[in-house]
A = this chain, B = another copy of it.
Amino acid sequence: MEAFITLTHGAGGRESHDLIESLIVKKVPPLLRHALEGHGLDVLDDGSFIKVGESFIVFSSDSYTVKPVFYPGGNIGELAASGVLNDLVMMGARPVAFLDNIIVEEGFPLKELELIIESLVKVLKENNVSLIGGDFKVMPKGSLDKIVISGFGIGVSQGTPIIDRVQPGDVIIVTNNIAEHGAAIMASQLGMDAENLSLRSDSKPLVKTVLPVIERFRNHIHAARDPTRGGLSSILNEWVKDREVSIIIDESKIPIREDVKTFLEMLGIDPLTVASEGVAVLSVSRDVSSDVTVALKSMGENPQIIGEVVIPEEPAQKGRVLGLTEVGGKRVIKGEALNLPRIC
């Protein structure tokens, strides 16, 4: 283990998971990794839950450090609300309440803070989610670059929340074009005019479009995640890690806008490692997969079946994500995250 924290530790890929595993999870006795008949650190998923009577109460929490604070397609307030609500949706839970912890640097313009909070509240209002608490702190000038927000979401799940466990025979569905959030933030961070490049964050809550589909097909959806930090490759790798299965992806099927692809190619970055903030990845029984895509389309999404979960014949392929190449071969898609900080 290295002696100092690096940016890679926070990038959402394998190094992040290894650090969290060794530094946090292992310090907690197994009995205290979950509470009240629920799941917590025992299953590293989008959220955790407890059971109260017959109800499943689901929780998610994330910190947002995105830079710049305002970017094409959104701002840190809208992102914090959408991101936390989406993690509840990925558990199959309907978001009901939110708490916001805001830390601001002394000297931050009040008008900008107001815009950020209005964006956050707007997302909550439009999705009928209550704001029931939070915290507000100010750090002296120079000790924080502008603002960070931690959001805590509370949801209720009808039926057991979705604990990711892909099954052989599942197909992998992506609900919309990938990598748009990450590309827009990268362009902004590089000082490029992302707006003129037509790059915009895809950040949006999935409560109205994806949650109804998850609720309807709940028993056939074996895993659901939003590919934020670490992108699609990171999530697919988590799903097969230490399992007997592998996921095979037809990369030509992955929905991505041409301008996003060109921009990322220019930088030499694999779009599979780049964050989306308004997209879900679902692992679904093959027999309902076309019903699921039809339902997602009717909600205005642009779903694509991009691959499948298989039991590989070659042992070396177990626990791996494989991409079909144009020449009919396979490449290993690794779960290494893009080492670019403050994407979300």
What is the interface of chain A, defined by CB distance below 8 A to chain B? 1-7, 9-11, 16, 19-20, 23-24, 27-29, 32-36, 38-41, 47-48, 50, 52-55, 57, 59-63, 65, 67, 96-97, 99-111, 113-114, 117-118, 121, 124-125, 128-140, 142-145, 148, 150, 152, 154, 156, 341-342
CB closest residue in chain B, given A19: B136
Q: Is the CB of B109 within 8 A of A4?
A: yes
Nearest CB of B to A121, in Å: 5
Q: Which residues of B contact A48 (CB under 8 A)?
A: 97, 99, 132-133
Q: Which residues of B contact A47 (CB under 8 A)?
A: 133
Q: Is the CB of B32 within 8 A of A154?
A: no
Q: Is the CB of A132 within 8 A of B16?
A: no
Q: Which residues of B contact A105 (CB under 8 A)?
A: 5
Q: Is the CB of A63 within 8 A of B32?
A: no
In the complex where A4-B110, A97-B35 touch, is A131 in contact with B28 (Cβ < 8 A)? yes
Nearest CB of B to A265, in Å: 25
A135 to B33, CA, bound (A): 15
| Cβ-neighbour of A61 out of B28, B99, B142 (below 8 A) | B99
A-B contact pairs, 17 of them (CB 8 A): A3-B111, A4-B110, A5-B107, A6-B106, A10-B136, A10-B137, A20-B136, A33-B131, A36-B97, A40-B132, A40-B133, A41-B131, A41-B133, A61-B133, A63-B103, A63-B150, A139-B148
| Cβ-neighbour of A63 out of B1, B117, B135, B342 (below 8 A) | B135
Nearest CB of B to A28, in Å: 5
A286 to B101, CA, bound (A): 37
